[in-house]
Structure 1
Amino acid sequence: MQCSYFDAGLCRSCTLLDTPYAEQLTSKQARVEELLDAHSPEWLSPIASPEQGFRNKAKMVVGGTAAAPTLGILDGRGEGVDIRGCALHLAPIHDALPVLARFITLTGLQPYDVPSRRGDLKYVLVTANAEGELLVRFVVRSEDVVSRLRRHLAALQETLPNAVVVTANLLPEHKAVTEGEREIVLTSRDRLTMTLAGMRLELRPQSFFQTNTPVADQLYTQARTWVDELGPASVWDLYCGVGGFALACAAPGRAVLGVETSVDAVLSARATARREGLDDVRFEAGDATEAALQAQPGEHPDVVIVNPPRRGIGETLARWLDASGVQHVVYSSCNPVTLVRDLEWMPGFRMRRARALDMFPHTTHLEVVTLLERVDSPATDRPRVRMP
């Protein structure tokens, strides 16, 4: 893929862009196979990504001035670099960014200047669904400027009618995060419907969603295939986000529980389950490890799915899984290094299958999903899981 920003040295986020894509995928597969070599899984063929036009979300730092805003990244001096033409984004996002830049000028919101710590607007976050509808979030420092967004909202919707959800996110602190805790919804709609693996998932503003829709579709389909082959009566989806794995693995008579720290994500997941009439699928807000530790002694699901952040599931949860009666674990990892570390605390399981998915093309990162099965012999008289 050719990129003028990369060629000019303005953006180097895609560190592997000068490597042919086929070589990128081959190298990633070789690296993850080397990392997991001691576990000797059956490797399924890797899942490739489109080389461009795959990102359903843009996280754009706002720089420059209100009269001439930049949307993109910051350089080493903390000044804005405009990359609104980035080819990784879906077409509706690509088309929306110039409109949003003009809207910033219309509102007179001053972009946040990192060196001086002055200004109103820090980020513009844009998510697109398959229908081209947009969720637009303006990350601002103070509620004082929200009235300006409200005042000009009709003008934005007239020039960008597919912006069906528009919010203001409050982030007053000067720190290296993208969003704050408080969200103010400015439109009548408060969620976007995202299609993934045949499911229509409800996405609220602060909910996590995989940014590479084509590859994520394959990820959830793979997990569903493995779980359906096992035919479990009960499944836990820990770190469930908006419920993708839990909802994908729902089946008649199968009790499914999703656990996620984000209340917004849990509300999104519950809305999807309610709309689809999935009475056997439940979602709870809480810490994944704490949820496992609070289970009654001997109670366990047949299958646990984990999809943790890059830090992995950690020793406590890994050891709990190893000591439990859980028979299979589907572990989806965006960091194979922490996956290998977590497996050291789970000697009661062996890796049966694995598949690499190139969720992050043109970078060194990738996703790997694995199916673990128990090889020791836990007590057989433990009762099946009782849903909390």
Structure 2
Amino acid sequence: MPTAPETRSVGIPCGYFDAGTCRSCTWLPLDLPTQLERKQSAVATALAAHVGPGAWEPPHPSRPSGFRNKAKLVVGGRRGAVTLGILDGDGLGVDLRDCPIHDPVIADAIPRLAAAIDELGLTPYDVARRTGELKHLLLTVSPDGELMARFVLRSEGQLRRLEAAVPDLLAAVPGLRVVTANLQPAHAAILEGEQERVLSDADHLPMRLPSAALRLGPRSFFQTNTAVAAELYRTATEWATATAPSSLWDLYCGVGGFALHAAVAPARPARVLGIELSPEAIEAARATAAGLGAEAEVRFVAADAATATAEHGRPDVLVVNPPRRGIGAALTTWIEDVAVPHVVYSSCNPTTLARDVAELPSYRVERARLFDMFPHTAHAEVLVHLART
């Protein structure tokens, strides 16, 4: 992907970028139309061997600010005066609580939660000294303006203090619904640990999209840009159901976004199967499916999507939404061997997408579309529809 010159912010006003405090949004020197044009050109070049110019549909843009439904904030500073943002080169906290890409509900919640952390006396983790407790504050907002707040702690040392403060936190932060403590004891650049304790009565965040309301657990994956994600689901559902398939599989399904949208589509398949490694995500997907009242038969299985396919036959349409590493050789070989008629592939990494498509020589890309899930950066979300030749 091309890089942008390090000048002043143009995409949106950002004092942090202009001051050199934070350069995470590397493309801020470019206005949004130019960003989208360059991003489209870059992904078209990366996929040129497989996607002809006529297959590209118009890219779907994002709003320039207030689009991010997640905040992953490093806790720094000192007890009673925390910073929420990132760490500098010396491991010291840099406060970014006014970051303009955060959803307005998150932007309103951050200073309230900072004040609450100070009042509670929670001790920020000091990377250099390996002391302290609170490492990260992870926030997620739903389309309804409800919030999930996850406090990542080094140990249980201040857990009781946090747990006792939950009623006050819920009262102080409008929309706060879910509060959890995540334990991450390792001195490593790891965002969260394996152990999560729900401290509030509510244990999930409803993500009500136009066609389905998903259930987001504390450690469940959801796209960072809700409005763009809704269009991604809509487009994938349209492409996947265009041939009136009898069966559809959603691999790496997470909380079931693609599968559940397909299950309630006007041209829905009779049978829908979602496969995901995370048992928590599968439990959430099953709970959502139970409340949909869908006419389709909908099942979710907790298994490795790359290896579980042989147990379930073959779908008419396969939807895949893998991590950045792509689907890999085992799955592309299976797709070729069983001759799946249609594959809809959602990718956040055009490089591994191009590699995987190259390993599917019996398929042609009929349609492709860029979704600007991550404005002001070179990152791209791409959806392609492959048909068996």
Matched, 1:233 2:246: yes
Code of the residue aligned with 2:300 in structure 1: it is F
Alignment partner of 1:236: what SS?
A: strand
Gaps of 5+ in 1: 376-388
Inter-partner Cα distance in structure 2 for 1:348 and 1:114? 51
- Structure 2 matches for 1:55-134, cutoff 5 A? 55-134=68-147
Aligned counterpart in structure 2 of residue 334 of structure 1, from 341, 345, 348: 348
Correspondent of 1:289 among 280, 302, 306: 306
Partner letter of residue 284 of structure 2?
S
Q: Is the 8 A contact 2:51 2:368 kept in 1?
A: no
- Within a 5 Å distance, the mapping from 1:94-243 to structure 2 comes to 94-243=107-256
- Give the residue type in structure 2 aligned to 1:77: D
Match of 1:382 in 2: none
Cα distance in 2 for partners of 1:352, 1:114 equals 50
The alignment of Structure 1 onto Structure 2 pairs a total of residues equal to 372
Cα pair 1:205 1:264 within 8 Å, conserved:
no
| Equivalent residue letter for 1:264 | E
Alpha-carbon distance, 1:244 to partner: 0.4
| Superposition map of 1:242-281 within 5 A | 242-251=255-264, 254-278=270-294, 280-281=297-298
Report the AA paired with residue 163 of structure 2: R
CA distance in 2, matches of 1:285, 1:122: 30
Deviation at 1:277, TM superposition (A): 2.5
Please give the alpha-carbon distance, in whole angstroms, between the structure 1 residues aligned to 2:328 and 2:119.
Answer: 48
**Which AA in structure 1 matches 2:373?**
M
Q: Confirm whether residue 36 of structure 1 aligns to residue 47 of structure 2.
A: yes
Provide the residue aligned with 2:7 in structure 1.
none
Q: Which whole-Å CA distance do the structure 1 matches of 2:251 and 2:231 have between them? A: 19
Q: Distance in 1 between matches of 2:89 and 2:209?
A: 37
CA drift of 1:161 comes to: 4.1
Distance 1:321 1:90 in 2: 39
Question: Aligned with 2:208: secondary structure?
Answer: strand
* C-alpha contact (below 8 Å) 1:197/1:248 kept by paired residues: no
1:316 aligned residue (322, 330, 351): 330
Equivalent in the alignment of 2:23:
12
Q: Superposed, which structure 2 residues align to 1:342-361 within 5 Å?
A: 342-361=356-375
TM-score, with length taken from structure 1: 0.93
Structure 2 runs not aligned, ≥5 long: 1-11
| Partner SS for 1:295 | helix
Check whether the contact 2:50–2:354 (CA below 8 A) recurs between aligned residues.
no
**SS, match of residue 157 in structure 2:** helix
Q: 1:33 to 1:241 in 2, by over 3 A?
A: same
1:81 shift after superposition: 0.5
Q: Determine the C-alpha separation between the residues in 2 that align with 1:176 and 1:348.
A: 42
Identity of aligned residues (%): 52
Q: Specify whether residues 366 and 175 from structure 1 end up closer, same or farther in structure 2 by C-alpha distance, changes over 3 A only.
A: same
Question: d(CA) in 2 for partners of 1:8 and 1:265?
Answer: 40
